[in-house]
Amino acid sequence: MRLRSLAPALAVAALALTACSSSASTTAAPAASSSAAASPAAPAAGTSARPGQSGSDAASGSAAPAKPAAPSDAGLPPKPDPGVVTKLVAALDAIDPDIVAGHPDQAVELARSQCQAIYNFPKDRAKLIDLVNQHFTSPKHPDGFGPDKAGKILTAVQTNLCPAPNSR
């Protein structure tokens, strides 16, 4: 009796696995959920292995990555409180007042996005300095503030805004 209740779910799962569209998994879900009332083993039908495929490979499917991708906001710190903003703006003004140039909110957003770069390239300081130089610009410095000041900006952002590497 148990095999009979699994047969429709297995047939739908086989069709879903051979289909090329990404909507195949949504087609298999109703069949698996309707079979769930008939048999407690039915939910496993959608994850059963194909010949030559292990159970864990079948669960992820051929289209899914083996490791989940980092969220798009990975490394992005929350909006800082006014005390952190004051410290960050003071540190940037000490490097060059033209960095903030009367736009602290814009400078903080640039710094927050720089934290994402730090998260993605934690050991590539040269790349991080290059990114700072590309992002932190002003009318007087349309090509950035140069590698020396960009390195100082990076240090100010890391010190005042970005989470410590060991806290991730």
Domain segments of the chain as ranges: 2-60, 82-167
Given a cut of 80, whether residue 129 has pLDDT beyond it is yes
DSSP 69: P
- Quick one: average pLDDT of 149-168? 84
Regarding pTM above 0.75, the answer is no
Q: Give the CA-trace dihedral at 12, 67, 51, 8, to 10 degrees.
A: -10
Residues 13-44 pLDDT 10s: 443 434 444 444 444 444 444 444 444 444 44
Which of residues 21 and 93 earns the better pLDDT score? 93
Q: Can you give the pLDDT at residue 163? A: 73
Q: Band of the pLDDT at 95, cuts 50, 70, 90? A: very high
Q: Can you give the pLDDT at residue 159? A: 95
Q: Is 101 left (phi over 0), alpha (psi -120 to 50) or beta?
A: left
Given a cut of 50, whether residue 160 has pLDDT beyond it is yes
